[in-house]
Amino acid sequence: MSKINFTESLLRVIISLIGLPFTGIQAALSRYLLYKYKAPGEKISVGSHHLHAMVTGSNTSNLPTILLEAGMGGCALDWSLVQPALAKHTKVLSYDRAGFGWSTTPISEPTCEGYVRDLRELLTQLELEPPYILVGHSYGGMIMRLFASKYPEEVSGIILVDSTHEQRFIESTFNQIRYEERLRHLRRLRMGYLLSPIGLPRLLKQPIGAKRLPPPVQHTVNTLGYRNNAYKAAYLESLCTIESALQLIESEPLVPELPIIVLSAGRQNEDWQQSQKKLLQLTAKTRQIIATDSWHSIQLYQPQAVVDSVLSLLRENHRNQTDKQASI
């Protein structure tokens, strides 16, 4: 398990002590802003920590519950342009992974497997019964795939929203460009982890979290993304991506009949487009839809494409259930 090493942890403490007045200001400001920007959902205990969960809609037609999983560093508000539309049809859950948004401290194992355990416990505490349609953006797609692998009888379908393919995190497959890209990413998060206690990311306007949200929502996401925990969680999550990828590679194959939509962003580069094609091999019922004018965060650039994809799986599920009942 890749973790923050002792030297980095010690250096963070030293920086916090040297900049003690700024550390105090950052801590006080974070507490005040958490009080000011109250969580729209509820905080649910999942063992040693709490997760912020937003459950909307109702399930009056016996349709699957929709589970929304944000990408790396994201939170429930990433789905603010999608969740209200889906909630008109069935029950929908979005949530903040540990350390992000309004959720508390990062978990000790911030890998796909650790997050699946958290999500499983969250569903139990919320009494959200299967079946589920899983929707995962980017890294969140990897988490959703592992959930479906572990609990195949509970999953009716998956939407992979420009989802990351696990090979992207396997170092043996890196070319020089990808290697340098990963180093830059980890370096930026490491600096944020070290300096967030004294408020430097806030001063430089470098929060963790999504961009391009509606202004009021974006302001809230930025505010949450300046918290010390957000940078720690993001750094840990990125350090553990290799373990996450290996967990997915070693997992049980998905049920061949499981319907999957690979919703791909049309404006990504050729290397990314090729990785999207690899996802088409997941099941016999996997198909691709390309959001032609979208960048990576399709739920923000073309939210209707996400909504339409989910609704198509809901309709397919409804037809299948109707056919089963008719054959009895």
Q: How many angstroms from the chain centroid is the CA of residue 218?
A: 17
Return the SS3 of 301. Answer: helix
Q: Rounded to the nearest 5°, which phi and psi values hold at 287?
A: -135, 160
- For tokens 């982890």, the residue is 193
* Of 136, 142, 131, 184, nearest in space to 159 by CA: 136
Is 0.85 surpassed by the pTM of this model?
Answer: yes
- On the 0-12 / 13-18 / 19+ scale of CB atoms within 10 A, 194 is buried
What is the rounded distance in angstroms from the CA atom of residue 301 to the CA atom of residue 42? 28
Q: How many angstroms from the chain centroid is the CA of residue 127?
A: 21
C-beta separation of 201 from 207 below 8 A: yes
Looking only at the bridges linking them, the beta strands covering 92-95 and 132-137 are: unpaired
Digitized pLDDT (tens) for each residue of the chain, 328 residues in all: 568 889 999 999 999 999 999 899 998 988 888 888 899 999 999 988 999 999 999 987 789 999 999 999 999 999 999 999 999 999 999 999 999 999 989 998 899 999 999 999 999 999 999 999 999 999 999 999 999 999 999 999 999 999 999 999 998 888 888 889 999 999 999 999 999 999 999 999 999 999 999 999 999 999 999 999 999 999 999 999 999 999 999 999 999 999 999 999 999 999 999 999 999 999 999 999 999 999 999 999 999 999 999 999 999 987 877 666 666 5
Task: Indicate the length of the chain as a whole number.
Answer: 328
Question: DSSP letter at 82?
Answer: T
Q: What is the rounded radius of gyration, in angstroms, for the C-alpha atoms of the chain?
A: 20
Return the SS3 of 103. Answer: coil
What is the rounded distance in angstroms from the CA atom of residue 82 to the CA atom of residue 84? 6
Hey, what domains does the chain have and what are their CATH numbers? 40-171+228-319 (3.40.50.1820)
- For tokens 């355990």, the residue is 117
